[in-house]
Structure formats: structure tokens, C-alpha cells
């Protein structure tokens, strides 16, 4: 286990590979661990970090750090501590929201953003996320099959207050306008069968800017990176391979991810 101390508290993270840096940010239901298959694939060409946010996984549980502002500060301080300059952010659910908010605040620090299960408005977030315990939410969205076992075990470590306070903070955020305000290239991914964050409407997708692209994984629920791993990894690699500043509108889903070495 890798850890650093920030504000006299333990911050847990994991890192694989060498190259340009990527940071993976988890959802309300989860921790760094469900990123392992994606990290292993991306680490062939990139330096991949997965961070446990305040109140999740093995990072310190301190309610005074659970606001959106504090979570963004954690990411900024982590990057400074690791000596990371410009980075690609890959966020899921809560992590997708944080990725976009952070990029709006620090546009010169982020090269591109991949947001998975990003809620285009607050009403798209199933109220069960607010009311369920971490165990109930893990059972609901991950189930107890063998491919999700490690992710399920880590999800239950979340402090319920961290989930609740982050959701409360979103009430002051206009989620629908966040992607439109972003100048950084943005790829949005949703699972067609996601019970927690549904696919945006056609009108919402049509209103996205030219530097934003939206792709639906038709065989996925809330975790496309676990449900359709090879396809997700191929899309991620193609996105990361784009020239800096290029729109992701050219990207298409491909069936297989094949190992490539630079």
C-alpha cells in the first residue's frame, strides 16, 4: 500500500507504470481498487495513479474534509506532492464530477478528461445513493460475483458521511452546464443499463460542445470498466492517444483492446 501524509492525515493511493501521468478518481460507491484492470492496461504506456478520496478506501475518515472544495484541494495537493504537472483525469460518478470541477478551477493542469457515469443534472442521481449504506449500495451496483469481489469489499469501507456530504454539495452545482463550460477535451461515457446514473437525453447530448464526445456502452451498468473491460480499455487508449487539445468526436467504440507498446 502506498500512502502520503497531507494535513497530518493518511492519503492512500496506488501507482503503476511509466510515462505521462493519469489519475483515476472513484465513485461514491468504491475506492481505487476497481481501477486495477484499467490501470494495468494503461500502465503499459502511462504512469497511472488511483487515489482514495477523503472518507473512502484507506484514506483518512475526517468529516471536516468531505466537502467538494476539500476533495478538490486533496487532488491539487496530491499532484503537488507527487510532482505531477499536466495530467489526464479519468473520473467515475463522483470522480467524474470532481474531475470536471477541478479542471474548471485548474485548466492549465489538466490535458483531457474522461468522465464515466457523469450526472448531467442532480435529478439523474438515483436517490438510493443518498439513503443506502455502503454495503447496500455495493450489493445493488456491484453484486457479489467473482469479477467484482475486490471492488465490492473496498466499497464497504466508505464513510456514509462522505457520500452524503458530497451529494449535499452538488445541490449548489449546475451539473448540466459543467461540460459546456469546459474548454478541455472531454469524453463522456455511460452504461446503458446503469440504475444509478441514467444515460443523458438526446437533447442533453446535442447541447454538448464541439470538444466533448459522448459514448454509450450498451452491455454495461454502472461500471463499464468492469462490465466491458476490453472495449473500455481500447477506448481509453484511443482517447489518450489523441493529440493534446484535439476533440474526441472522432472516437468510436472498438470490440477489442490490443496491447500496444510505444
Residue 253, in any domain of the structure? no
Is residue 254, in this structure, part of any structural domain at all? no
Sequence length of the chain is 262
Task: Please give the pLDDT value at position 204.
Answer: 94
Residues 6+ apart with CB under 8 A from 45: 17, 19, 237, 240, 260, 261, 262
Domain-embedded: residue 258: no
Q: What is the pLDDT of residue 233?
A: 95
Show the domain range for 75: 2-246
- The C-alpha atoms of residue 115 and residue 60 are separated, in whole angstroms, by 25
pLDDT at position 144: 77
**Residue 165: what pLDDT?**
95
* Residue 257 belongs to a domain: no
At residue 71, the pLDDT reads 98
Mean pLDDT per segment of 10 residues, for the chain of length 262 residues? Answer: 93 97 95 94 97 97 96 98 96 98 97 98 94 92 78 87 95 93 97 97 94 96 94 96 94 58 35
Kindly state whether residue 175 falls inside one of the protein's structural domains. yes
**Strands, sheet with 110-116, edge to edge from the N-terminal-most edge strand:** 2-6, 9-16, 46-51, 20-25, 87-92, 110-116, 186-191, 212-217
Instruction: Indicate the pTM of the whole model.
Output: 0.94
Residues 6+ apart with CB under 8 A from 98: 25, 53, 68, 71, 72, 75, 91
Cell 472544495 found at? 69
For the chain, what is the domain count?
1
> Pairing mode, if any, of strands 20-25 and 46-51?
parallel
Q: What pLDDT score does 133 carry?
A: 92
Query: Which cell numbers hold the place of 140?
Result: 445493488
CATH of the domain at 97: 3.40.50.1820
What is residue 84's predicted lDDT score, i.e. its pLDDT? 96
Determine, yes or no, domain membership for 117: yes
Instruction: Determine, yes or no, domain membership for 255.
Output: no
Q: b/e map of 248-262 (b: 16 or more CB within 10 Å)? A: beebeeeeebeeeee
So what's the pLDDT on residue 255? 57
Residue 260 counted as domain residue: no
Task: Considering only the C-alpha atoms of the chain, give the largest distance between any 2 of them, rounded to a whole number of Å.
Answer: 46
| CB distance 88 to 114 below 8 Å | yes
Amino acid at each position: 500500500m502506498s500512502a502520503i501524509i497531507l494535513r497530518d492525515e493518511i492519503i492512500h493511493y496506488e501507482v503503476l507504470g511509466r510515462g505521462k501521468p493519469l489519475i483515476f478518481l472513484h465513485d461514491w460507491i468504491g475506492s481505487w481498487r476497481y481501477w486495477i484492470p484499467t490501470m494495468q492496461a494503461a500502465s503499459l504506456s502511462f504512469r497511472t495513479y488511483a487515489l482514495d478520496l477523503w472518507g473512502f478506501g484507506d484514506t483518512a475518515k475526517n468529516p471536516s474534509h468531505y466537502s467538494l472544495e476539500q476533495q478538490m484541494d486533496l487532488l491539487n495537493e496530491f499532484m503537488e506532492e507527487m510532482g505531477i504537472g499536466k495530467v489526464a483525469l479519468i473520473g467515475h460518478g463522483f470522480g467524474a464530477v470532481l474531475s470536471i470541477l477541478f479542471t474548471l478551477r485548474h485548466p492549465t493542469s489538466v490535458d483531457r478528461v474522461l468522465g464515466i457515469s457523469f450526472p448531467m443534472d442532480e435529478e439523474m442521481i438515483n436517490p438510493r445513493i443518498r439513503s443506502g449504506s455502503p454495503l447496500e449500495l455495493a450489493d445493488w451496483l456491484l453484486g457479489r460475483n467473482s469479477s467484482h469481489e475486490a471492488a465490492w469489499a473496498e466499497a464497504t469501507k466508505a464513510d456514509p458521511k462522505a457520500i452524503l456530504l458530497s451529494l449535499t454539495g452538488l445541490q449548489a452545482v449546475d451539473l448540466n452546464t459543467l461540460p459546456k463550460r469546459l474548454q478541455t477535451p472531454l469524453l463522456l461515457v455511460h452504461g446503458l443499463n446503469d440504475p444509478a446514473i441514467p444515460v443523458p437525453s438526446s437533447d442533453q447530448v446535442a447541447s454538448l460542445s464541439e470538444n466533448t464526445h459522448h459514448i454509450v456502452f450498451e452491455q454495461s451498468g454502472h461500471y463499464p470498466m468492469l462490465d466491458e473491460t476490453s472495449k473500455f480499455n481500447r477506448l481509453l487508449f484511443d482517447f489518450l492517444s489523441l493529440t493534446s487539445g484535439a476533440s474526441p468526436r472522432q472516437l468510436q467504440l472498438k470490440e477489442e483492446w490490443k496491447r500496444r507498446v510505444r
